[in-house]
Amino acid sequence: MASTTSLKLPDELKDKIADLAKGVAQTPHAYMVEAIEARIARDEKRRDFLESAAKSEEHLKRTGIAYSHKDVARFLRERVSGRNPKIPKPIKVPRSER
């Protein structure tokens, strides 16, 4: 269910939205909703990325298990080129480097 929200926009921004929306055959309303949805999707991906990075860092600190950049880069290059490479082997990071 949709609800109404009011936005106070500077006249210059409102004019830009109207002009750009017309150029892509949208109403200004649809243009703004799409722009807000795109921003939300981007910010959710960033939040998820940061949460994943924090979990990975915590796992490294707890276990000392990591993968070498060289091995991961090789794996990804081969995977992207359509090959079926061996998964990189984990390495143990000394406690002093965690």
pLDDT of residue 91: 95
All structural domains of the chain with their residue ranges? 24-63, 64-98
Is-contact 27 21, C-beta < 8 A? yes
pLDDT of residue 5: 93
Averaged pLDDT in 10-residue chunks for the chain of 98 residues: 93 98 97 98 98 96 95 98 96 89
- Nearest CA to 90 out of 67, 72, 69 is that of 67
pLDDT of residue 1: 84
